[in-house]
Chain A
Amino acid sequence: MGIKKIKTHYDEFELDLTPLLAIIMKLVPVLIITSSFLQLTQIDTDLPQVIKEAIKNQDANKDKPFSLVVSIDKTRNVTISAKSDNKEDNYEVKSLNQQIDFKGFNEKLILIKKVNPQIFKLTLTPDESVAYDEIVKIMDEARKPRESKIEFLFKDSLTGKDVKTDYMFPEVVFGNIFN
């Protein structure tokens, strides 16, 4: 009779990783082939179809007509025109070294949004020389505040309850397509 070795919990045991490795080896090539490393996104833009948009605007702003128009000129100065039924406020964001002041534009929009939390639509009229990249950046700045802490309180028309959102003007319409 041989002497049995007493096993203690200090003894090392080896976990068989072979099946796990086999699964990973199959998954990795599948993921490498099927994954696209360039992640794309889209920005929805509604064109101002004369009749369709007019009806939509009338329906949305029956009691309180309001329009927000953002114009960008050749020298990259941005003018924001906020029109309501009885008054018109104009804000100007001067360019910085022939570049649009995106930060200043975002700050001005935050001020306007605080006064008009029910408005989510903005009409953009850029100059013909403005680059597409700049337009996309302007749309980004109009969508949300730079600081993630800032939120706006507005009344949900369906439930009547106050809702918090960090969205400012996500709906951008090009106003000078037909000009």
Chain B
Amino acid sequence: MSRRRRYTPELKKNSNITVNITSLTDMFTVMLVFLLQTYNTSEVQIEPPKDVRLPSSKSESVLTQSYQISLSQDALKANNEVLAELKNNEFETKDQEEKDPNFIKPLFAHLDKKMKENSDKNVKEGKLSLLVDKALPYLTIKKVMYTASMAGFPQIKLITTSQNQ
């Protein structure tokens, strides 16, 4: 019994094969439009820390250059450096001034040092961006704002995710 021969189409040696790329172009055009729409034109790129869940806001203000501080449910950080730790949404007693519990000593020391060392215009003007976890109570944020203003950072910007996107 002879085996059935597999069918192979006859191709001429010099024939051109044209691949239809129309559907591929369609797909890439859709992708391109989507990417251009979501493209962020802001000069400042802020990457929020993983442990901070930012609240969403309808604010349309564009991000501006400033010194950044993040406040999660566990720690207060500046440039990934832990300045103070939090327990049950409160700063530890050792980090607070005895007579003035709103004053966070490590934060003041850090910001004061930055203000003296740094020649950056935004730091000199006292611009500070706060990346705060949305679940934190006002008491904790108030302490950070109070200490920041004491250290010469009165222009505080609250960073949020955009609700308009």
Point out residues on A near B: beta carbons under 8 Å.
14, 17-18, 20-21, 24-25, 27-28, 31-32, 34-47, 49, 52, 126-133, 135-137, 139-140, 143-144, 174, 176-178
Contacts and interface: CB of A to CB of B under 8 A. Distances in A.
Given A35-B35, A45-B156, A18 B57 contact: no
Contacts, number: 150
B165 interface: yes
A78 to B, nearest CB: 14
A103 to B, nearest CB: 14
Contacts of A43: 57, 59, 61, 157-158, 160
A148 to B, nearest CB: 11
14 contacts: A28-B35, A31-B35, A35-B38, A39-B165, A40-B46, A40-B54, A41-B61, A42-B157, A45-B157, A132-B136, A136-B56, A143-B58, A176-B142, A177-B142
Contact of B149 (A42, A49, A136, A139): A49
Nearest to A49: B154
Interface string B151-165: 000111111111111
Interface in B26-62: 28-29, 31-32, 35-36, 38-40, 42, 45-48, 54-62
Contacts of B60: 41
B63 interface: yes
Given A42-B59, A44-B157, A135-B138, 20 more contacts: A17-B25, A21-B24, A24-B32, A28-B31, A31-B32, A31-B36, A34-B39, A35-B35, A38-B48, A39-B161, A40-B48, A41-B62, A42-B64, A49-B154, A129-B139, A131-B134, A132-B133, A132-B138, A139-B57, A176-B142
Contacts of B154: 46-47, 49, 52
Nearest to B18: A14
The 8 closest A-B pairs by CB, nearest first: A128-B139, A133-B134, A31-B35, A39-B162, A24-B28, A136-B55, A39-B165, A43-B158
B132 interface: yes
B94 to A, nearest CB: 21
A141 B59 CA distance: 10
